[in-house]
Amino acid sequence: MAAELVVMGLGHVGLPLSRAAVSAGLATAGYDVSRPVVHGLTDGRSHVGGVDDADVAAMLRAGFHATDDPAVLDGAQTVVICVPTGLTDRGLPDLSAVEDAAAVVAAHLHPGMLVVLESTSYPGTTEDVVRPLLERGSGLRAGEDFHLAYSPQRIDPGNPTWDVRNTPKIVSGRTALCAKHAVAFYSRFVDQLVVARGTREAEMAKLLENTYRYVNIALVDEVALFCHETGIDIWDVLHCAASKPFGFAPFSPGPGVGGHCIPVDPRYLAARAESQGFAFRTLAAAQDVLSRMPDHVVERALTILTKTAGRPEGARALLLGVTYKPDVADIRETPARQVAAGLLAAGVEVSYHDPYVPEFTVGGTPLPRTENLRDALDRTDVAILLQDHACYARETLGQARCALLDTRGKAVGSRVTLL
């Protein structure tokens, strides 16, 4: 029996989407080119934060199955493409996974099928990249023989409040009828839908959401750099500014940005704009600031080690939290890797503590991991709080015997140095 829905790409976007669809009673299958992912899910193991093994087990009991066989697309009513969109070695948009997925769908496309792209990309991807691949590979016409839509993902790993169902979802279609079919599909498991004028508007809205955060984080980071140079307490500045009930949205400085979206999506926008002769000067300035933050953390740590240990060479540094956001097991694009590399290059012995990350490599070499936080703080020369995990209690950090470089404004104590 054919699945109603096939989700292509069972990662941080596709697996939560599959769970929401299964919970709503849709006969759902998942397709992924990674055999370890498929085998893990088949055995009831989750590889995605926010979806645990019990969730996968419940999905399997409800009829969900994962496969790497594209034949699963045969007869499906709806196919949602949730494959990753990253960057090439030159920092340009890499749509190879989207193109591969579209080619697979095209080979199984049938009249009346709804094909939705959820992968984040630049304006025009649905119309100029996905549509031609689907049409050439199937001989069918989008908007006439099958329905083509774009609906950007809004997954926030580790967020206990907002999930697939209660997060408003943007929906768009190549034609008004395509959009109507997309609305009918998503309304089965999403509470609120926002219909965009077209696919380009929906694609641009997604990039704007993350670029807004990118630019504002860069602004606060640069203010933090200025405050450091002039002896101003950046955390008190932020506390005071955030008291304004209008016209100000609080952002916090840190060691850099990470995750799949924030460091990547603005580059999609900048590359698309550049190809059309438009220069996003704000993005260029933000990238310059954000790229400097890990090195700034390294410089501050080396200064501390020179004061406390005499010199950085042979001194010991402990990284606290190497994920890109608090209380999730996600290290994609984490600034911790650049911080560690900078310290190692200066001859510092680097180890890390993170309850969510059993292994962490830098330049292909595993960093030593410690599990006992108090003992590790006693044995190191400087601890660097990179991520504000809940396990890092304010009192524990403030009472540490070692020096502490706090990039999150959490600790208070005589040995604490703020970013």
Range list of β-strands (E), 285-402: 316-320, 349-353, 361-362, 365-366, 382-385
The pair of three-digit structure tokens given for residue 404, joined into one six-digit string:
């502490």
Residue 211: which H helix or E strand, with range? Answer: helix 199-230
The pair of three-digit structure tokens given for residue 344, joined into one six-digit string:
């190692």
Catalytic residue among 178, 261, 391, 402: 261
The pair of three-digit structure tokens given for residue 1, joined into one six-digit string:
């029996």
All residues at 6 or more sequence positions from 275 whose CB lies less than 8 Å from its CB, including other chains: none
- Would residue 261 show up in a list of annotated catalytic residues for this protein? yes
- Please name the residue ranges forming H helices in 11-110: 14-23, 35-42, 53-61, 96-106
CA separation for the pair 66, 60 (Å, rounded): 9
CA separation for the pair 40, 88 (Å, rounded): 28
Query: In a 10 Å sphere around its CB, with 0-12 CB exposed, 13-18 middle and 19+ buried, how is residue 247 labelled?
Result: exposed
Sign of the CA dihedral with 309 first, then 310, 316, and 320 last: positive
The pair of three-digit structure tokens given for residue 140, joined into one six-digit string:
């069918």
The secondary structure of 82-137 as a DSSP string is ----EE-TTS-EE-HHHHHHHHHHHTT--TT-EEEE-S---TTHIIIIIHHHHHHH
Rounded CA Rg of the chain: 23
Cβ atoms of 40 and 47 closer than 8 Å = yes
Phi, psi of 95 (to 5 degrees): -105, 20
Q: What is the bridge-based pairing of β-strands 361-362 and 365-366?
A: antiparallel
Q: What angle do helix axes 336-345 and 281-309 make, rounded to 10 degrees?
A: 50
Residues recognised as catalytic: 261
